[in-house]
A and B are shown apart, each in its own frame.
Chain A
Amino acid sequence: MRIPENLSYTKEHEWVRLDGDVATVGVTAFAAESLGDVVFVQLPEVGDAVTAGESCGEIESTKSVSELFSPVSGEVTEINQSVVDGPEAVNADPYDQGWLFRVRTADLPELLDAAAYAALTQED
């Protein structure tokens, strides 16, 4: 299971990439694999205020529904419309084409590095 070194992670199996004050958010390959084929993604809307650790959307696979948690607090600046139109990108390319939304954030909460996240997935 791929866990890129340059990203940060949450216990909810999401990844975060910080570019300046904008955080890009997606789910990890481990999450995508556990969910099965993703068939529906509900994202927050551009302009929404999201809060770290709180639900801001949903991911549905054939078999299950999972809440999407925002790993950071701030304002949503962009969503990945191509993932809404083609949710299979979450399975096919979770760290790149399958990104979900971007948040402008003032302060980044404490996140896991790749090694700590890898250890977490070993426990599950």
Chain B
Amino acid sequence: MKTALHEVHTGLGASFTDFAGWSMPVRYSSELAEHRAVREAAGLFDLSHMGEIEVTGPQAGDALDYAFVGRLSAVRPGRARYTMMCNAEGGVLDDLVVYRLADEHYLVVANAGNAAVVSAELTARAGGFDAEVTDRSAETSLIAVQGPAAVDIVGKLTDADLSSLKYYASTPAVVGGQDVLLARTGYTGEDGFELYVPGERAAAVWRVLTEAGEPHGLLPAGLACRDTLRLEAGMPLYGNELSTELTPFHAGLGRVVKFDKPGDFVGRAALDTRRDPDRVLVGLKGSGRRAPRHGYRLLADGEDVGEITSGALSPTLGYPIAMAYVLPAHAEPGTALSADVRGREEPVEVVPLPFYRRS
């Protein structure tokens, strides 16, 4: 599948990769330059492969409270919340951002690879409620502008008051003459915005952001740098740190499970018995330049104690960083472990997440 911006990317000389069936830009020139642009100036991302599902109606909030582990009915209109959808066993089906647009109107944003599952499950789980589920993925584009210059770039293009648009908030806005849903959310560890727009106007929005961003050093940015940015920020990636084999507690995200909300929710009974995970997600710091990568084993005194879920040489920090699931006995920050990097043991140290926090 191709996004509405595919020809724009081709014109920019992008290299493409398959991501969940979508042909997506992996980089335009250099992923390290794109990574640096997001940390120091701004990057422009096409995230139109992600799924957008509307939930509307008098019981929209109740339906989401039942479908997800969070309490979405308590989110105020104009605000957003990070949450998860679990199966009956407590395994994670997806991690998502839910925007409450109005009292009876929510927008659920799902990972590309899980969008069909989330849409089908939401429809099924909302069946007993006075709520309607509509999958808008096909007609919706998502463009993100991320980085310290993002607020100046978007500010030049809109009359919306960005100083009152807080992190994890959204508002309808006109940006560069185009009607968009403007959200202050992201997946890079930087300040920034995500703009939801109908596909036929995506190229126009991309163009005005490119023009406004140029004097600020904005670069188009691909999925390669998106992955190193989110890893530095300690954010989980579904398929790496999250899966149906794991609960939110494994990932250290038990706080998103709201056992105290009224009414039942899918996965509640199972999650209640799975609060003490048999392995936990940790951050690891290496030395040298050789990064432990997804799937590599972790050893303590020669014993297998865990597995790397994501790893890279951190472009910002200059040393290898990784996330891994380890036995709880080896999860304390400061613990020395070694990673089996293609047959060679490389020393790593357990460190707190995130690796990078914007100043």
Binding site for B on A (CB under 8 A): 33, 36-37, 39-40, 42, 58, 60, 62-63, 65, 88, 91
| Pair A37/B290 contact, Cβ less than 8 Å | no
**Residue in A37, A42, A58, A60 whose beta carbon sits within 8 Å of that of B32 in the complex:** A37
Q: Which residues of B contact A63 (CB under 8 A)?
A: 26, 31, 224, 227, 312
B27 in contact (CB, < 8 A) = yes
| Pair A62/B315 contact, Cβ less than 8 Å | yes
| Pair A62/B313 contact, Cβ less than 8 Å | yes
Q: How far is the CB of A85 from chain B (nearest CB, A)?
A: 10
| Pair B31/A37 contact, Cβ less than 8 Å | yes
Which 8 A-B residue pairs are closest in the complex by CB-CB distance? Answer: A40-B289, A37-B32, A39-B313, A37-B30, A62-B31, A37-B31, A63-B224, A36-B31
B228 in contact (CB, < 8 A) = yes
B244 in contact (CB, < 8 A) = no
User: Contact size class for B?
Assistant: 10 to 19
Residue of A nearest to B288 (CB): A40
One digit per residue, 1 when the CB lies within 8 angstroms of any chain A CB and 0 when it does not, for chain B 277-316 equals: 0000000000001110100000000000000000011010
**Residue in A36, A40, A91 whose beta carbon sits within 8 Å of that of B290 in the complex:** A40
Q: Which of B24-52 contact A (CB under 8 A)?
A: 26-27, 30-32
CA distance A58 to B288 in the complex (A): 15
| Pair B26/A60 contact, Cβ less than 8 Å | no
Q: How far is the CB of B356 from chain A (nearest CB, A)?
A: 15
- Among B224, B228, B315, the most chain A Cβ lie within 10 Å of the Cβ of B224
Q: Which residues of B contact A88 (CB under 8 A)?
A: 32
